[in-house]
Copies of this chain bind each other. A is one copy, B any other.
């Protein structure tokens, strides 16, 4: 139904290749010819067929974004960063939610490649290294992984320095007099969770504080496990003065559990989180946490992809973005009883 290059050519009485050349600015024609062509384009309301173009040029101007779930408050800003930047470069983005299921992720990746995306952004990927290394061979495909290392010269990496951020937050707590700090860890085997735990431990050891394993609890990064863990901590009858949850949802869950037991926060116990999701600002007391540059992660990823596509760079790059502490109301210095 819609007009093709051929139609335009016929109407303008020139060859299709001439029209193509003019429209893409690769051919110089005399003004009169150009005028006729433009008029025909206008008249037929011609719009190039991207499919045909892509088939020919081996480029789709489309990127694939693969995330655990857009529903997780951590990702919308990132997705927005990706989409905005892609759009600025004239690219579109295809969205995929994997739910952290390796099979599902693999399927999405394959579909995306079959659809010939020019770039692939894998966030918190769960597929085996071997698969990544295999797809890294795909021609005309730039890949960047977020928060995951991979031994391949063709794949770029973007990281957030979770460990350092965890160290900073822990030290902040320590320096404020908290020496018995409970830690709510995330699921084992998830890198973003493990780094936070490592940071906590590192800070403790730097300050020569004993690591009490009974103060470390493992949760599932959700509100419920935070609540659960808060109750466990209470049940232990421990003397902790602060809890550092490795994400905000757990921090809020824990805070609620403590509050439900009549423990005033931050007066009796300080609680801090990690991620700085919107919620952190709305709970009472406002949650002190670690801000993640999510939007910037997205923009950075697209930029790395563009450098590859435009062949401005062909060596592996590893970029590290930094988080920063945002202290609100849920944490105050600890005064020892005998202080």
Contacts and interface: CB of A to CB of B under 8 A. Distances in A.
Interface of A: 1-2, 47-52, 54-55, 60, 62, 65, 69-71, 73, 76-77, 79-80, 83-84, 87, 92-97, 110-116, 137-139, 223, 252, 278-279, 282-284
B113 A47 contact: yes
Contacts of A283: 282-284
Grouping DSSP codes into helix (H, G, I), strand (E, B) and loop, the A interface class, with mixed when no group exceeds half, is mixed
B49 A114 contact: yes
A92 B92 contact: no
Given A2-B138, A138-B2, A279-B282, A115 B51 contact: yes
Contacts of A95: 65, 79, 83, 93-95
Contacts of A70: 70, 76, 79-80, 83
15 contacts: A2-B138, A47-B110, A47-B113, A49-B114, A49-B116, A51-B116, A69-B80, A70-B80, A71-B80, A76-B76, A80-B97, A83-B96, A92-B111, A92-B112, A94-B95
Contacts of A97: 80, 83-84
A279 B50 CA distance: 41
A2 B50 CA distance: 21
B115 A50 contact: yes
A46 to B, nearest CB: 11
Contact of A93 (B48, B76, B94): B94
A82 to B, nearest CB: 9
Copies of this chain assembled into the complex = 2
A60 B80 CA distance: 24
A69 B161 CA distance: 28
A94 B50 CA distance: 15
Contacts of A51: 51, 54-55, 60, 115-116
B92 A115 contact: yes
A258 to B, nearest CB: 13
Contacts of A87: 96
A127 to B, nearest CB: 17
Nearest to A86: B95
Contact of A47 (B54, B60, B92, B114): B114
Nearest to A80: B71
Contacts of A79: 70, 95
- Most B-side CB within 10 Å, residue of A2, A70, A77: A70
